[in-house]
Structure 1
Amino acid sequence: MNIHEYQAKDLLRGYGVAVPRGGVAFTPEEAESVARELGGPVWVVKSQIHAGGRGAGRFQDNPAGKGGVRVVKSIEDVGKNAAEMLNHVLV
């Protein structure tokens, strides 16, 4: 079965398993909004694909850039990194 991490968390949560809080965003603005709701000094922005090694992968249009899992320390960086991931192909 191929499901995304956020879908697996919803399933596990439904069975009473403790999972980290998070959210799904389809725009950089939504990502910033989710980060504000979560609070905290550090956030992890993750691409959601059916493959392992998201952090080691690179985006097709920026092969020298960052991977699909990024630790950021500001709301602005959440939005910036989400914009660099959304609608781009991770390989």
Structure 2
Amino acid sequence: MRYHIPPPTVGGINEPQECPYCRRTFSCYYSLKRHFQDKHERSDTMYVCEFCQRRYRTKNSLTTHKSLQHRGSSGMLKRLLKSAALAHANH
């Protein structure tokens, strides 16, 4: 079954919204849209964390993962990964 993001309810995008698929209620349309993308939308695209190689179905999920698991160390890890990749390429 293919799910489609529902339009905002009659009250507007800043009013509480209900997911028609799982009946969860969200504070606004943006929250419903993010929930829909994370839980109900299917895509062949996978987003991979450059730090630990974990894979996610949505960019939102990857962003959340990185902010929780790799916060504060992303700059250091990026430099470390880049220097390791350069060292590996030179061998």
* TM-score, normalised via structure 2 length: 0.22
By percentage of residues, which structure has more helix?
2
Give the structure-1-normalised TM-score: 0.22
Higher CA-based Rg? 2
